[in-house]
């Protein structure tokens, strides 16, 4: 049960092409956004779509897969863990961000 302590699984579409950063030690990092949508009916019976945006980060082998095969609009499933961090922006204001560190990505669309 320890793998359930901080586990996230999402299915959605990329909101942007992966941004790739390679560090001096040949470590690769990618980041991209993922949109997930839920649907419900409002009081009038109309179907309403509610979209959530998630910040995704991947490292190493998973980053290379994302760099080579993913692009904006592609539908994927991923599993990972939730992380929070903070940083100071250029004006010195503290900013907080929640990210999902991907440890597995599955492409859901057929190859062209």
Q: What angle do CA 1, 97, 5 make, to 5 degrees?
A: 5
CA-CA distance, 97 to 55, in Å (whole number)?
8
Domains detected in the chain: 2-107 (2.40.50.140)
The pTM (predicted TM-score) of the whole model is 0.86
| Nearest to 76, CA basis, from 99, 47, 108 | 108
pLDDT for 52 beyond 90 = yes
CB 46 within 8 A of CB 21: no
Read off the pLDDT of each residue in 6-20 and give the average, rounded to a whole number.
96
pLDDT for 1 beyond 60 = no
pLDDT per position as a tens digit, 77-88: 999 999 999 999
**Residue whose structure tokens are 């991907």:** 102
pLDDT-based confidence at residue 5 (cuts at 50, 70, 90): confident
């Amino acid at each position: 049960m320890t793998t359930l302590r901080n586990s996230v699984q999402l299915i959605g579409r990329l909101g942007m092409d992966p941004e790739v950063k390679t560090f001096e030690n040949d470590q690769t990092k990618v980041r991209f956004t993922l949109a997930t949508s839920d649907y419900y009916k409002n009081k009038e019976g109309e179907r309403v779509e509610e979209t959530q945006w998630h910040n995704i980060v991947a490292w190493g082998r998973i980053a290379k897969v994302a760099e080579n095969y993913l692009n904006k609009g592609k539908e994927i499933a991923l599993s990972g863990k939730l992380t929070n961090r903070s940083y100071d922006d250029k004006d010195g204001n503290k900013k907080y961000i929640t990210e999902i560190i991907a440890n597995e990505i599955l492409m859901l669309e057929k190859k062209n």
